[in-house]
Amino acid sequence: MSKTINIDGQEVPFQEGQTIMQAATAADIYIPHLCHNPGYEPHGSCKLCTVQVNGRSCTACTFPAMEGQNIVNSSQQLDEDRKKITQMLFVEGNHLCPSCEKTGNCQLQGVAYYLNMLDNHFPHFFANREMDASHPDLLIDHNRCIFCNLCVRASREKDGKNVFAISGRGINKRLIVNSVSGKLKDSDIDVNDHAAHICPTGAILIKRTGYAIPIGERVYDNKQIDVVSLAQEHNTHDG
């Protein structure tokens, strides 16, 4: 007899060692997230995947599925909390979607659409961070970094390097490059590295590829992020 958890009234089977996120995804239940990626160790930094587990707030990407859990993923309060988190991410960085090359392919933008975020709500207060275009093939727009740690994890876990790190706290938090100069050109990152392609926003971009896919034909232009995310995670596990 398989073990199950209950998500919004639906009995969902799980395997020992699975997180709530993994069990939900296997059952085609989307839990909003930004820092989660099925190919990496869970991090729990963005907090968008917070659910109520027997009345307790937990991040679904890190919390293990266990028999007897009654989980609330979809509620007005959770959706409002997720929307506020997303709004804060927008105002903590320079996320001007119409002028960003990543528009239509940006997970932050996709989550905002999914949550019906119609305005930023909060005043902008982002620090003015420099752009690093020193590398011949890559650039970093630090103004768009949401500190998801995905590039940090990708460089260490997949590429076997240590190109990126997060330094500082609060308004002084920043993505740093582990090179003597602190510039991307002096690091050992390569355009084919996982770390170069995993950014969920427009913070890390590949040079000379801008608008190769026209606006209107991009991944989130025609499909909501829940559909895209579930399909990608299934493909990762099937592969």
Place of tokens 């003015």: 128
Strand duo 70-72 + 3-7: pairing: parallel
- Taking the domain 3-82, which CATH number applies? 3.10.20.740
State the average pLDDT over residues 41-61.
95
CATH for 97-222, options being 3.40.50.720, 3.30.70.20, 3.40.50.300, 3.40.50.150? 3.30.70.20
pLDDT digits (tens, 9 = 90+) for 207-232: 999 899 999 999 999 999 999 999 98
Angle at 111 between CA 159 and CA 119, to 5 degrees: 130
The structure's pTM equals 0.93
Q: Please give the Cα distance from 83 to 28 (Å, whole number).
A: 22
Q: How confident is the model at residue 234 (pLDDT cuts 50, 70, 90)?
A: confident
> CA-CA distance, 33 to 47, in Å (whole number)?
8
Task: Delimit the domains of the chain by residue range.
Answer: 3-82, 97-222
| Distance of alpha carbon 229 from the chain centroid | 11
Residues 6+ apart with CB under 8 A from 231: none
